[in-house]
Amino acid sequence: MAEQDSLKIKHSQDEGNLFHRIFINPWLYRIVRIALSAVFLYGGVIKLFAPKAFAATISTYNIVPEMLLPVVAVGLPLIETIAGLALLFDLAWGLHIITGLMAMFVFVLGYGIFTDLNVDCGCFGAEELDKQAGLRAAFYRDLILIGFIVPYLYAHRWFRKKSGQGE
């Protein structure tokens, strides 16, 4: 009985914790989720409208075989768009796909920086950034997204589930 009372006290103290309140704030969660969703929707749709330009950007990285370029140039933006829509509607699998995409983007951008490629990022269509400096900016932007924003979304979902508010 004493253990249950101490757990109740600890739980009520956690709810008063500013950090905990920020993580469970539904409006902050919605704003962050919708903003990340918008980034992926915009990036995906822009590239879907210019698949040849995106294929040319992808080819400069020399990662995708030439015969698969058209598939990747359409498939990747399509996946980005679908994942962005799923995240917009707060479907867990959308966040999982975006996390995987972000990891892949960080890897590819890091590869481009490491091999000193002088190419466009390709993140939001062709030639939106200034070559190598753009790769670095996109790399750091994606590191922030995958290091802070994505974990926040997962943590909020975890806190919400833990507190019994469901998915």
Report domain extents, the chain.
18-162
Phi-psi region of 117 (alpha: psi -120 to 50; beta: other; left: phi over 0): beta
pLDDT of 160 over the 90 cut: no
Among 36, 79, 35, CA closest to 54: 79
pTM of this structure: 0.81
Closest to 28 measured CA to CA, from 129, 163, 128, 149: 149
Q: Is 70 exceeded by the pLDDT of residue 4?
A: no
Q: Hey, what are 137's tokens?
A: 């900016």
At 113-153, the pLDDT tens digits run: 999 888 877 787 655 545 556 888 899 999 999 999 999 99
d(CA 95, CA 47): 20
The residue among 156, 147, 126, 124 whose CA lies nearest residue 24 is 156
pLDDT interval class at 9 (50, 70, 90): very low
CA–CA gap between residue 138 and residue 61 (Å, rounded): 15
Contact 43, 6 (CB under 8 A): no
User: What is the C-alpha separation between 78 and 72, in angstroms, rounded?
Assistant: 9
Residues 55-87: pLDDT tens digits?
Answer: 998 998 999 999 999 999 999 999 999 999 999
